[in-house]
Amino acid sequence: MALQSWWAGLAGWSQQVLGVGAVALWLAAVVAAALGVRWLWPQQREWSRKLLHIGTGPVVLIAWALGIDRWIALPAAALVTLITALNHRFRLLPAIEDVGRASYGTVAYGAAITLLFGLFWPLHADAVAAGVLVMALGDGLAGLLGAAIPSWSWRVWGQRKSLLGTTTMALVGLAVLLALRAAIDLGSAELPTASLAGIAVVATLLEQVAVLGLDNLSVPVITGLLWAWLAAQA
């Protein structure tokens, strides 16, 4: 019995080490890619930042798939947030922060992930995934396409928003939520498509208020909370 307990404990630790290693490798690859983009296209300062923004999202899926425990996930997210705050202050990696405007987006993004881990991990990892992936993919692609392809635009508190970028945010956000619903094997009866569309619309409206990059906090947290509330009603 003692041997079985020891073996189970060793297996559990091995799984955690594997999970942490996989997350670390993924983040290292994303940062390396962002630095490479910055080196190849130094005039496109937003590209490297958006690549990091989009690439960070799948970390939640890796942690979920490999069963990383709360006692590892939460401190790790807090540590990454601290590192991004230090980088924001001292510009150690300009590819991440140097976008030519005042923004606390990377710090807010890390804080949002940390808060979602604190609220929902691991019992409701789907809520964490919903919040983070809507922000990572929806906002990330919206920023890239909206800046690259001309379309009708407007300003909200000094921040430029475009029709293409806003539409991308809404459609990609809805696609993420629908894909997540399918992945956790819930049907439209439990999580109605109209309700998921409503969450995507709320996330899109929050993204409009992008002052100082604080939408990186509001969008994932509110999306995660709405998803958790909707799932609880199922």
User: Is 170 within a domain?
Assistant: yes
User: Is 41 within a domain?
Assistant: no
Confidence class for position 95, pLDDT limits 50, 70, 90:
low
User: Is 61 within a domain?
Assistant: no
User: Is 104 within a domain?
Assistant: yes
User: Is 83 within a domain?
Assistant: yes
Separation CA 176–CA 171 (nearest Å): 9
Total domains in the fold of the chain: 1
47 pLDDT more than 60:
yes
- In 3D space, the residue among 18, 35, 122 whose CA is nearest the CA of residue 77 turns out to be 122
The whole domain housing 140 covers 70-233
Residue 94: the pLDDT is: 64
Of these ranges, 40-54, 96-110, 111-125, the one predicted with the greatest mean pLDDT is 111-125
Separation CA 133–CA 55 (nearest Å): 10
Residues 6+ away with beta carbon under 8 Å from 180: 126, 129, 130, 133
Q: List C-alpha distances in Å: 115 to 69, 111, 224.
A: 15, 6, 10
Give percent of the chain above pLDDT 70. Answer: 88
User: Is 193 within a domain?
Assistant: yes
Mean pLDDT of the chain: 88
Residues 6+ away with beta carbon under 8 Å from 137: 54, 57, 172, 173, 176
175 pLDDT more than 70:
yes
Of 164 and 233, more confident: 164
127 pLDDT more than 70:
yes
User: Is 211 within a domain?
Assistant: yes
User: Is 214 within a domain?
Assistant: yes
Q: Are 176 and 138 in contact (CB under 8 A)?
A: yes
In this prediction, residues 116-131 reach a mean pLDDT of 97
DSSP 92: S
Q: Are 164 and 187 in contact (CB under 8 A)?
A: no
